[in-house]
């Protein structure tokens, strides 16, 4: 039960619980900030014109690049023949 609730998902993205906590928290705070700026833009269209889309673009890039780099490193590590 503990494994399913706390560890199963972080494992699927190659992170420990605490690594996942940090990444998910930073994403959540960035989304709150981007959402707040989008609300400001809704009221005052001349302010924060691209903040919402900039936040989405930045977070998507981080997620795709991070997971891709981690996956590539894992594949490379598994394919290396070790000679001792």
pTM summary value:
0.71
d(CA 60, CA 73): 20
Please tell me the predicted confidence (pLDDT) of residue 22. 94
Any residues with CB less than 8 A from the CB of 72 and at least 6 apart, and which?
none
Please tell me the predicted confidence (pLDDT) of residue 35. 96
Give per-residue pLDDT as tens, 29-82: 999 999 999 999 999 999 999 999 999 999 999 888 877 776 676 666 666 666
Any residues with CB less than 8 A from the CB of 38 and at least 6 apart, and which?
48, 51, 52
């Amino acid at each position: 039960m503990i494994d399913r609730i706390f560890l199963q998902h972080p494992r699927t993205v190659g992170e420990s619980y605490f690594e996942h906590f940090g990444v998910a928290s930073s994403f959540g705070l960035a989304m709150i900030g981007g959402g707040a700026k989008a609300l400001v833009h809704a009221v005052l269209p001349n302010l924060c014109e691209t903040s919402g889309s900039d936040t989405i673009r930045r977070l998507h890039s981080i997620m795709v690049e991070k997971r891709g780099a981690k996956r590539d490193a894992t594949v490379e590590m598994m394919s290396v023949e070790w000679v001792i």
